[in-house]
Structure 1
Amino acid sequence: MKPTPLFILSVFLVFCNVNAQDSLSTNVPPEILFKKPTQNNFSISPDGKYFVEVVENNIEIDIVVIDIDSYSLFKRIPVGHTAIQNVYWLSSKRLIYESLGEIFAIDIDGTNATLIVDRMADQLTRDLYKLHENIRVNGVVNLLHSNKNEILIQTYDYSGYCSIKRVNIFTGQKITVIDGKYEKIHRWILDSEGNIRLGIRYNDTGYDYLVRSSKNNKWEQFYLKMDNQDIPLKIDATSYLSQNVNFEGFGLEEDIIYITTNLNSDKRQLISYDLAKEKVVDILVEDPNCDVNDPHGRDISFIYDFSNGDLAGIRFESIAPYFKWFSPKMSSYHASLNKKHPDYINDIIGSDSNGDRLLIHQWSDTNAGNIGVYKVKEDAYYVMFYFNEELNNYKLSKTKIVIAKARDDFRIPCYVTLPIHYSNSEPIPLVVIPHGGPWARDYWELDSYAHYFSNRGYATLRVNFRGSTGFGKEHVLSGVNSIDEVMINDIADATNFAIEKYNLDANSTFIFGHSYGGYAVYMSLLKYPDLYAKGVAVSAPSDIKAWLKTQKKEDNYFAYEFWNFALGSKKAKYLNEISPIHYAQDYKKPLLIFHGKNDEVISVEQAEEMFFELKKYNKDVKLEILQKEGHSILDSYSLGYILDASNDFFIQNQSHVLSD
């Protein structure tokens, strides 16, 4: 198609927007910083002609189809008010999508809409007391492109068992391939051809990977043969943090699976393993700084070249996003994108069937980014839409990667964000933001909390203290049995490191955290009253003994056993020793506490009782209960309220110190 002048102008404007930001000097409103995206489920049609996305708003949900060549809207298809979980291409003219357990098909022009699979069981009970047993939740697991008439679906029953069925997309006829209730299997793992290879069976404290025995045809524990050992593939609460083998998925080649393991190394490696030969084939990726995939955090991404049927590359979270390429062709495409758009991470998230057009997610630590299409033959990039365009009008600070040293010389990966107009000539205030979990990690990304404070003149520090995941066995296991010691000391050491390196104001150093981060606020103010001026704790536990008791009472066996292992003891004396509530009389610095009334992870009573204890000793503390929120504060305006109140709290009486 020959480009029109209007099209050329629109592309010019797109590229201007991709490569530049306005620099508004006003503070970024928190409701913009924390604005949730309304678009999801992005993909390109097999022939590369159409881009599709799902757009959600308060009124309706639409499937939006864009003609890539004309760079114009092809069709906006209203599909009702219920959420869409996944969208797939049956062909270049027809889509299939999942919505709350039902599966629909529809043409890209909005016609021929069909309900393929409903939420009801194949055989219904009429017993009024068992009507709930009729409900099913369905999802597509393989489109069976070699068979144009059928798809494979997974069906979950009311007990949580999963069956695999073949469904005729024209007649709706369903044929059960395997019955999950009969086999007592809660999830099935299929290879790329749709063959059932592994099953997962849950128990109170974890789950097991199972394989069908060739001897008795029963599903039995799956073992990997590595280093002359038979290693069971399973997840257990008491061994979760030291888990040394994790299943990542099936490859395109028959019998090849991908495993991450730290069996012979401190950092987790990605390996390929041959099921038929029962041996390791190759070490695909290893990183001296980080685990290749953090099983407790973000997943690894496998980038395939479907035109050749090959694994093209791996993308995972190192200290910053990292790519390892096996395909010279795909590597060259990625290099071209990086050269044209050096300020962005260019994630390849999809392609057409020939690999001529790649779907790209562009983003950075200062820009919410966009979704676009890269035409490889033209070496040209076309933006389909922008995430959070309002935010992109503000100039945000870059995030620095720094390695702090703990008192024992242990290396602590951190992220520092300085105000845009920072100069080393005069000290500025610092906000330390310990992450939750604590078995999680911080990432190099557009972190809204860090940007809120840096945008208002603070330096911010995010610390991957020992116990954080993703940095190797030694790093994570050093934090076990020490949530109140090593973790808190590492945060303090990193804080002192940052103060010295960037000439920060030691008298205006604050700490702000959510969940475990809030617990870290409590313990940091307690242990280091001369380091931190004030603290804000959001959704934080204060009485570990009472919290563990609640987990056991509510039958959260995995969480209960996991935390018994992670804490090192369930004895009352020890749990009291690591609970901030028992040291209320020792606090010297002001505290601001927020908690959601509907928090089902850490009950609001934890905040209320901490507040009452502090007040009993006339400490400077304020508690605010958010009536509509749970553990994770989801509403951007609620987050804005918390952050604005925290900012005001930090600004006022910065040098104020309470007496004993």
Structure 2
Amino acid sequence: MNTRISLSFALVGSLLLGACSSGNNEVESTMAKKITPPALIDRAVLFGNPSRFQGRVSPDGNKMSFRAPLDGVMNLWVGDKGNFDSVKAITKDTGRGIPSHFWSKDSNYIFYIQDQNGDENWHLYSVELATGKTTDLTPHANTQAQFLGQSKDMPGIIIAGMNDRDPRWHDIYKVDLASGERTLLQQNEGYAGFVLDNELNVRLAAKTLANADMEWFKKDGEQFTSFLSVPYSDMRTTQILKFDNDNSGVYMLDSRGRNTAALSHMDLASGKLTVLASDDKVDISSILFDPDNHTPVAYSVDFIKPEWVAIDDGYKDDINTLNSQLSGGAQILAQSNDNNYWTVYTDNSNSSPIYKVYDRTTKTLTDMFVTNPKLNEVSLAKMYGVVIKSRDDKDLVSYLTLPLESDMNQDGKPEAKVPMVMLVHGGPWGRDIYGYSPVVQWLANRGYAVLQVNFRSSTGFGKEFTNAGDKQWGKAMHTDLIDAKNWAVKQGVTDANTVAIMGGSYGGYATLAGLTFTPDEFSCGVDIVGPSNLQTLLSSIPPYWTSFRQVFVNAIGDPDTDEGLALLKERSPLTYVDEINKPLLIAQGANDPRVKQAESDQIVDAMKARDIPVTYVLFPDEGHGFQKPENNLAFYAVAEAFLAKCQNGRVQPIGDDFDNSSIQITHGAEFVPGVPSTSVNE
């Protein structure tokens, strides 16, 4: 199996016409375009459904599956490997579509997950390929399911977590695929998570302590006994991955006693720890395991671009072949049971991503499919990795994308200044990576440079960098963005007064922080599901995040102390709403369980009470971000018109991009040119 490491706990102005006009005049007088820009790329090409996505080869190596539109909705399709004439849809969803799927080890079932309108109460479904029967394996109201494991030696069952007994804790069940019946294996009494051995037994459990340290326990009979303590400083960069072949030890990522997370093996009886792979600059990010003997055979590291490294000599030719044929990003997503076929996702920044199949017997890499062939018919911009120094000498791994008219030599060195958008990632325990992004290409095509910054608190660059963001929301995490902005100005990418800020989740918070804490640094902001009040954010976290609440408290502030409350108020954009003097667009999903609608409502209401202009877009059938392509098209149509007004970029008319969308513009539609009156719901 390929283990892709993710340590992210996603919480991831005054629209004065004079200010906007002044900004536009400045843009026109300082941004000289040397060449005619490329044709506008239709938003439907960028934000509509791809032709196919999420390709997988079945574990027996005979079939393939993928997500693709059926009557405009992303559904699951299955056929013979390499034969698209044989494929047929095995689901017929008519709502938000199916976001993710995977195979049973015996290749008899397809599993997929789905929630309702973004509420994140994920249910786990199976489709029996022989009969077409679809079964909800977790048919309980207001329940979130977690898939925990399966084994090719134990066909017909899976292990899943479900929190229907107590929304805070996921109990562990064995589920029979034929009948859907479940059998309780472990009632969860306050554990953050469990690890199964290769025989699907519950063997290990983790618990977050009151000080946010992580304690690991071994199951002896019916009792759990402590065997490993992970201090808070390491808990976001240390985790147990899986058991070894004889179930006597575990493979883990471990940053204890070092900065970056190393791939290690721990013998459970003796506690002996052996480091198998490490890198001084970055954490180990993805690991490829042999499906038969459960040993790690290769890993990847990702500083600016991912690079695969073989551990097992028997895999060196395979890894060298992959690295030699891939110029961008590459993820090994799935393996056949005999390990002869690998499903590989390949990703260059300026072309459509491609799913490929690597055949280990012939050492060949062939296309499974291009995800969006229409992208290869338009002009896309290149992404460049850059390292920017923060004011306290930290390396901020960042990505700069220039519009083609400012990158004539295709070298990442601007030929002419253009307006810029700082695009801030969510989390904040996540990171920006190299590769194709529809949002980045949309912005670049409209004439904006795009800068993505891995500010402190971002993951993947060692625990010291991640931990440096603790208690720094709106402070050092924000000054990293300002330092990156100043770098871009110094490099001649843009001018200081033509930089917008935009992002979702934490990136939405950063947008609000930019317009309140530093109101003169950015020309305007686009906030997508961003928290405005850190106190209410912490008081309304989902119940299933109870085990990690203290981690958030340590990182943001403690609402149970006077000092912590003062800190949360100080770092909340809502506190400084009077400082907003630049245009602001806010977008929210009504069903968001992480950053609740109240976070956007609060700051919009405060701005309305002070007669500070703001545009507020609400989607009643979305959650933490927007999944339906119709809603994405509608939102980016509004955002494009909004940015064009304050940044003077190019704009495609909204046209029919609101068709079939649930979009409601509940306030401030008059501040966005071209908004249809039918969408206004003030």
Q: Which TM class, normalised by the smaller chain length? A: 0.7 to 0.9
Counterpart residue number, 2:514: 524
Counterpart residue number, 2:678: none
Show CA shifts across 1:546-581 (max 9, x none). Answer: 4334449x7964565333322234334333322222
Q: Match of 2:106, SS?
A: strand
Q: For 2:186, which of 180, 186, 190 is the aligned residue?
A: 180
Q: Which has the higher contact order (CA 8 A, sep 6+)?
A: 2
> In the aligned structure 2, how far is the partner of 1:102 from the partner of 1:29?
35
Q: For 1:432, which of 422, 426, 429 is the aligned residue?
A: 422
Q: Match of 2:38, SS?
A: coil
Counterpart residue number, 1:588: 581
Q: Match of 1:86, SS?
A: strand
Letter paired with 2:290? Y
Counterpart residue number, 2:312: 327
1:482 counterpart = 2:466: no
Shift of 1:199: 4.4
Q: For 1:262, which of 235, 255, 267 is the aligned residue?
A: 255
1:566 counterpart = 2:558: no
1:33 counterpart = 2:46: yes
> Residue 233 of structure 2 contacts residue 467 of structure 2 at CA under 8 Å; is this kept in 1?
no
Counterpart residue number, 1:384: 368
Counterpart residue number, 1:288: 280
Distance 1:377 1:454, change over 3 A: same
> In the aligned structure 1, how far is the partner of 2:426 from the partner of 2:380?
24
Q: Match of 1:506, SS?
A: coil
Shift of 1:612: 3.9
1:492 counterpart = 2:454: no
Q: Match of 1:404, SS?
A: strand
Counterpart residue number, 2:352: 368
Show CA shifts across 1:29-85 (max 9, x none). Answer: 333323455544612453x444344656357955422244xx554453645659684
1:142 counterpart = 2:154: no
> Residue 77 of structure 2 contacts residue 88 of structure 2 at CA under 8 Å; is this kept in 1?
yes
Counterpart residue number, 1:304: 290
Q: Match of 1:442, SS?
A: coil
Q: Match of 1:565, SS?
A: helix
Shift of 1:418: 1.0
> In the aligned structure 1, how far is the partner of 2:267 from the partner of 2:209?
28
Distance 1:535 1:54, change over 3 A: closer
Counterpart residue number, 1:192: 198
> Residue 305 of structure 1 contacts residue 311 of structure 1 at CA under 8 Å; is this kept in 2?
no
Counterpart residue number, 2:88: 76
> Residue 303 of structure 1 contacts residue 315 of structure 1 at CA under 8 Å; is this kept in 2?
no
Shift of 1:511: 1.1
Counterpart residue number, 2:222: 218
Distance 1:51 1:498, change over 3 A: same
Distance 1:589 1:323, change over 3 A: same
Letter paired with 2:388? A
> Residue 213 of structure 2 contacts residue 230 of structure 2 at CA under 8 Å; is this kept in 1?
no
Q: For 2:268, which of 275, 281, 284 is the aligned residue?
A: 275
> In the aligned structure 1, how far is the partner of 2:233 from the partner of 2:504?
23
Shift of 1:499: 1.6
Q: Number of residue pairs matched?
A: 584
> In the aligned structure 2, how far is the partner of 1:361 from the partner of 1:73?
22
Distance 1:116 1:505, change over 3 A: closer
Counterpart residue number, 2:103: 87
> In the aligned structure 2, how far is the partner of 1:184 from the partner of 1:577?
32
Shift of 1:615: 4.4
- The 5 Å alignment of 1:210-249 reads 210-213=217-220, 217-224=221-228, 231=229, 239=232, 242-243=235-236, 245-249=238-242
Shift of 1:243: 4.5
Letter paired with 2:366? Y
> Residue 59 of structure 2 contacts residue 106 of structure 2 at CA under 8 Å; is this kept in 1?
no
Distance 1:252 1:609, change over 3 A: same
> Residue 48 of structure 2 contacts residue 633 of structure 2 at CA under 8 Å; is this kept in 1?
no
Show CA shifts across 1:345-404 (max 9, x none). Answer: 343334444444433322222333222323344444332222122233323222111111
Q: Please tell me the root mean square deviation across aligned C-alpha atoms, in Å.
A: 4.1
Counterpart residue number, 2:595: 602
> In the aligned structure 2, how far is the partner of 1:366 from the partner of 1:376?
28
> In the aligned structure 2, how far is the partner of 1:566 from the partner of 1:615?
31
Letter paired with 1:565? N
Q: Please tell me whether Structure 1 or Structure 2 has the larger radius of gyration of its CA atoms.
A: 1
> Residue 545 of structure 1 contacts residue 575 of structure 1 at CA under 8 Å; is this kept in 2?
yes
Q: Match of 1:373, SS?
A: strand
Counterpart residue number, 2:657: none
Letter paired with 1:383? D
> In the aligned structure 2, how far is the partner of 1:136 from the partner of 1:67?
33
Letter paired with 2:342? L
Show CA shifts across 1:126-166 (max 9, x none). Answer: xxxxxx69x99797843453x78x65655758426645659
> Residue 55 of structure 1 contacts residue 64 of structure 1 at CA under 8 Å; is this kept in 2?
no
Q: Match of 1:505, SS?
A: coil
Shift of 1:501: 1.6
Shift of 1:313: 0.7
> Residue 340 of structure 2 contacts residue 359 of structure 2 at CA under 8 Å; is this kept in 1?
yes
Shift of 1:97: 5.1
Q: Match of 2:428, SS?
A: coil
> In the aligned structure 2, how far is the partner of 1:60 from the partner of 1:480?
39
TM-score, normalised with respect to structure 1: 0.76
Show CA shifts across 1:501-546 (max 9, x none). Answer: 2442223111112222222222223343443222222222223234
Q: Select between 491-500 and 621-630 the one with higher mean Cα deviation.
A: 621-630
TM-score, normalised with respect to structure 2: 0.74
Q: Match of 1:561, SS?
A: helix
1:57 counterpart = 2:70: yes
Gaps of 5+ in 1: 1-22, 121-131, 225-230, 234-238, 294-299, 656-660
Shift of 1:491: 0.5
> In the aligned structure 2, how far is the partner of 1:61 from the partner of 1:195?
33
Shift of 1:493: 0.6
> In the aligned structure 2, how far is the partner of 1:439 from the partner of 1:136?
22
Q: Select between 80-89 and 359-368 the one with higher mean Cα deviation.
A: 80-89
> In the aligned structure 2, how far is the partner of 1:394 from the partner of 1:407?
39
Shift of 1:480: 1.1
- The 5 Å alignment of 1:85-164 reads 85-90=101-106, 94-95=108-109, 101=124, 105-107=128-130, 141-145=149-153, 151=157, 153-154=159-160, 156=162, 158-159=164-165, 162=171
> Residue 397 of structure 1 contacts residue 451 of structure 1 at CA under 8 Å; is this kept in 2?
yes
> In the aligned structure 2, how far is the partner of 1:528 from the partner of 1:136?
39
Distance 1:482 1:97, change over 3 A: closer
Gaps of 5+ in 2: 1-35, 114-122, 408-413, 649-682
> Residue 519 of structure 2 contacts residue 579 of structure 2 at CA under 8 Å; is this kept in 1?
no
- The 5 Å alignment of 1:504-543 reads 504-543=494-533
